[in-house]
Amino acid sequence: MVEELSARKAAAVVREAPKDGLVLAADTVVALEGAVLGKPASPEEAARMLAALSGRTHQVYTGLTLAGPGAVCTEHEVTDGYSARGCPRPLPPPVGGGHRPLCGHR
């Protein structure tokens, strides 16, 4: 899945790149118990996802595609991640605005 997503991203950009240019594209997804967690549609959904990950090991899948003149190489890596339990304090607001922070550690 992440290989295909990164390859699509690279293909979309390489058409606009200089003839001798290189494009590096990546995509990452998180899975918990085999189910891929998509992008949350709201801060509330993001909070539910973070709560589901809390105190549990999950997998982080990252696909990378390097595209250049006449060649494309796509690979992926899987890493186990662990989310600590709890939310001691909110994150500070992001620079330049954005959504209200959900959770953070200092």
Task: Give the integer Cα–Cα distance in Å for 76 and 4.
Answer: 10
Burial of 30 (0-12, 13-18, 19+ CB in 10 A): middle
Which position among 6, 23, 27, 64 bears the catalytic label? 27
Active site residue 27: yes
Active site residues: 27
